[in-house]
Amino acid sequence: MAQNREFFYRRLHSLLGVIPVGLFLVQHLVVNHFATRGPEAFNRAAHFMENLPFRYFLEIFVIFLPLLFHAIYGLYIAFTAQNNVSRYSYFRNWMFMLQRLSGVITLIFVTWHVWETRVQAAFGAKVNYDMMANIVDNPFMLAFYIVGIVSTVFHFANGLWSFFVSWGITVTPRSQQISTYVTMGIFVALSIVGIRAILAFV
């Protein structure tokens, strides 16, 4: 019974990391990338997202609750997993360790980002270009955001590889090798999008 429960939780954790959390990450990066076109373009994109129908329902049940479960169970996995990098220097063992490490960094980053944006918005602050520009005006915060973005994107992209394996999409060694190239390509592409976006606020 306990094994079945853990199997279910791990599958759910994997699924939620891609749908909807991963999809939201991609959408969030795309919206933020409008900052590269100037303050007005970003503000229009942000305003559009803030005025979506059923916004609060979507934020709670499609974003925050799945993210909360993924984060809490992810921490459990991170601190109970057996990393083998000290004994085996295989690429996947290192990626396994980096997945757990990036998960912890991502949780810290996302928590802080939500505090600086969504929570402040609840207290009356406007989520716009100026808000982000003021945040990353501090060089430390800019570096923190860059590290956080890269960590988050890596966690998503590398998590995709595990998702494909866990759900039986990539079964053979060849398909898993191709998946490695594809997911690392996604990591590079989304990292560029995210870094370009955050630098646009500087």
Residue 33 marked ligand-binding: no
Is the pLDDT at 197 greater than 80? The verdict is yes
End-to-end CA distance of the chain: 53
Is the pLDDT at 169 greater than 80? The verdict is yes
d(C-alpha 99, C-alpha 173), whole Å: 20
d(C-alpha 170, C-alpha 117), whole Å: 38
Amino acid identity for residue 14 in this structure:
S
Q: What does pTM read for this prediction?
A: 0.93
d(C-alpha 45, C-alpha 92), whole Å: 38
Q: According to DSSP H, which parts of the chain are helical?
A: 2-18, 21-33, 39-50, 55-57, 65-80, 91-114, 120-122, 129-135, 139-166, 173-199
Domain residue spans in the chain?
2-199
pLDDT value at residue 3: 77
Residue 155 marked ligand-binding: yes
Is the pLDDT at 101 greater than 70? The verdict is yes
pLDDT in tens, 127-140: 999 999 999 999 99
CATH architecture of 2-199: Up-down Bundle (1.20)
pLDDT value at residue 88: 46
Q: How many residues in the chain?
A: 202
Mean pLDDT within 157-164 = 96
The values of phi and psi at residue 14, to 5°, are: -65, -45
d(C-alpha 174, C-alpha 81), whole Å: 26
196 pLDDT band, cuts 50/70/90, is very high
pLDDT in tens, 2-38: 778 889 999 999 999 999 999 999 999 999 999 999 9
Residues 6 or more apart whose CB falls under 8 angstroms from that of 68 comprise none
Integer angstrom CA distances of residue 7 from 38, 92, 163 = 46, 21, 13
Mean pLDDT within 130-151 = 98
pLDDT value at residue 190: 98
